[in-house]
Amino acid sequence: MSAMALSIGGETVTTKLAMRMEDSLQAFAVRAACFIGELDVPYSEEFDGHDFGATHIIAYVGEEPVGTLRVRWFQSFAMPERLAVIQRFRGHNIGQLLLERARKLAESRGCNMLYAQVLPTDIKYWEKQGWRRLVAEEASSGDKRIVAVVRAVDPSKPLPEVEAPESVALRREGQLDASGLPLGTASN
C-alpha cells in the first residue's frame, strides 16, 4: 500500500492498486454503494466490459475500503472514471488522493494527458483539482449530460492541444457481448 499524508480519526489513509480478485471486489462494492445505492444508477450502466481491462485504485481508511477510481489506458492518455467515495468519508480529500495516484501512475506509463467525462454537477470539483473543460459547452450522452475535462500528467508541461468532437469523445460506451465485441456487430 502507498501511504498518503492523510489520516481520518487517527486512521491512516492509504491507496493501493487492485491486484487480486478480493481487491477488485472491494472496489466494486464501493462503486455499488455510491452509484447504485446513492444515485440509483442501474447496475447495467455502472458495471461493464471495461472493468476487467482497467486498473482500479482503492483508498482505505485503516483496513476499510472507502474510495475507488477506475483508470482505462489508451495510446497516449489515461481515462480516470467511476470516482467513488463512501458518503461518510467525503470532504477528506480522498477523491483528490485517488486522482493524484492515477496521475502518477499515468506518468509512470508514459501518458501525457488525463481525460475524463464528468457530470455538470461535478465540474467545479474537477476544476478545483486542476482539470479544464475540453469543450465549452456540455454535450449529450444518451439521456445524461456530460462535460469532457482534461489535465496534463506533468503539470510543468503544457497540455497538448486536443479537441473532442461530440460524436467521437462524448458518447455512451457501447454494450459488449461475452467475447468483448460491441453488440450488434456482424460477428455476433
- Nearest CA to 166 out of 184, 141, 187 is that of 141
pTM assigned to the model = 0.80
Quickly state the pLDDT bin for 158 (edges 50, 70, 90): confident
More confident residue, 165 or 123: 123
Amino acid 151 reads R
**118 in the same domain as 105:** no
**101 in the same domain as 118:** no
**Does the residue 160 lie in any domain?**
yes
- What pLDDT is attached to residue 182? 56
What is the tens place of the pLDDT at every residue in 35-70? 999 999 999 889 988 998 999 999 999 999 999 999
**140 in the same domain as 94:** no
Q: Are strands 113-118 and 132-133 parallel, antiparallel or unpaired?
A: unpaired
Give the three-state DSSP class for 72. strand
**Does the residue 15 lie in any domain?**
yes
What's the grid cell of residue 81? Answer: 472514471
What is the tens place of the pLDDT at every residue in 1-40? 444 468 888 899 999 999 999 999 999 999 999 999 999 9
CA separation for the pair 5, 183 (Å, rounded): 45
**107 in the same domain as 124:** no
